[in-house]
Structure 1
């Protein structure tokens, strides 16, 4: 897989899945712009792979507009990875507080929409734009005690399909990945029992690392992936089939 000549924006690139995917895309020849609310960590990743960096807060529309305005050459791809996942699980649906619900929706749903809206004019310029959203297989199997996150990722799946219809005439492909629980900083709070449930339930047993997902993302951001537009791919080692 080569992404030589393709300029790709990766959000949530300071650590975890975003960092791993950014490094994989750089190895595949892509020119990268990285973004994250964690400015110091994000700049360190960007410097290590000769990428550009811009801080962004997905709760702030002005911050998103500033990021889009800072990109001075057409984009070929957007990896919509930034989201809230830490510290919001393990709570029954009727005990989720409204502030947590609103914060998760504000970042994971509204932020994904606003980021897509902000960079779509740039994606249209290149004629072969690709958007890859990050959903979750929790929204496919209905993970309990994780209501705000599950609902937000279900919304991302629905947005992916609607965006595929709207942007298809412009030659822009829109897909989503739905990983299982990954071994990253954002899942360290998850009980070992839940990790074990996933590991034992996968068709390919064991833990899933961000590296398992990076190659799929790279393909979906390539020119060859247009025929998959609108699809949600459960990249979870066979924990959920669709």
Structure 2
């Protein structure tokens, strides 16, 4: 998929949320290497600036802008500035998310934790999508890829707020696909499994082992395993694919 997408994404203008590290940074780099123009946002300012500088020095068209998904004004300002920087928007990857609820039983969760996760992961995804809608419509080939999680497909325990938020992202993908379809905008989601990135360093070793043993493909999942399917869904090769959820987890969950 990645090879197909790399022949079709040159010059595409793509926004990535949460692009300063982890999977987000992998998406930014893969898009840049495919010739896309990328603007990404994050609350991790120093990491965002460093990544943008590194890729720019390599000759890629990559820019960083501050973004706080918990703040609607920040979301609107980010999307507008990103669109102005690139002269429009052809694609959006809703990647940014927080966990915060890891290791706690449902009965142990604080209301504030639940609200914080929902505000970023669910409300933030919605706000970025509607802020980008008019730009994606004007593109004539707009595509959104929402990053969900396979935890919402198998019901990972002691992670309720995150699991519920990612389940909401899947449901939102279906609804937005129907609403945005009239504008020629595709909306799809992928559900990665546990991926070897900085953000998963806190995950207990037994959870990593559980994933490894349960996959049809018995190896760790790396960021490059996820970037290919995402680039494909942003490309013209997927112009008639919308409202779909693609688990990308080595066969841990099969749909």
| TM-score relative to the length of structure 2 | 0.93
Are residues 1:28 and 2:39 paired?
no
Q: Using the TM superposition, give the Cα deviation of residue 185 of structure 1 relative to its aligned residue in structure 2, in angstroms.
A: 1.1
Q: Using the TM superposition, give the Cα deviation of residue 223 of structure 1 relative to its aligned residue in structure 2, in angstroms.
A: 1.6
Are residues 1:194 and 2:207 paired?
yes
Partner of 1:61: 72
CA deviations 1:92-112 (Å, max 9, x no partner) are 111111010000000000000
Are residues 1:7 and 2:13 paired?
yes
Within the candidate set 120, 137, 157, 1:107 is matched to 120
Q: Using the TM superposition, give the Cα deviation of residue 226 of structure 1 relative to its aligned residue in structure 2, in angstroms.
A: 2.2
Are residues 1:80 and 2:91 paired?
no
Aligned residues: 241
Q: Using the TM superposition, give the Cα deviation of residue 53 of structure 1 relative to its aligned residue in structure 2, in angstroms.
A: 1.3
Structure 2: give runs of 5+ residues left out of the alignment: 57-61
Give runs of aligned pairs for residues 72-151 of structure 1, distance below 5 A.
72=84, 73-85=87-99, 87-151=100-164
CA deviations 1:66-101 (Å, max 9, x no partner) are 11221211100000000002x421111111110100
1-structure distance, mates of 2:240, 2:108:
42
Partner of 2:247: 234
Partner of 1:178: 191
SS at 1:227 equivalent: coil
Q: Using the TM superposition, give the Cα deviation of residue 211 of structure 1 relative to its aligned residue in structure 2, in angstroms.
A: 1.1
Are residues 1:210 and 2:223 paired?
yes
Contact 2:101 2:158 in 1 (8 A): no
| TM-score relative to the length of structure 1 | 0.98
Structure 1: give runs of 5+ residues left out of the alignment: none
Q: Using the TM superposition, give the Cα deviation of residue 40 of structure 1 relative to its aligned residue in structure 2, in angstroms.
A: 1.1
How big is the alpha-carbon RMSD for the aligned residues of Structure 1 and Structure 2? 0.9
Partner of 2:176: 163
Partner of 1:220: 233
2-structure distance, mates of 1:90, 1:39:
28
Q: Using the TM superposition, give the Cα deviation of residue 228 of structure 1 relative to its aligned residue in structure 2, in angstroms.
A: 1.9
1-structure distance, mates of 2:200, 2:210:
14
2-structure distance, mates of 1:47, 1:78:
21
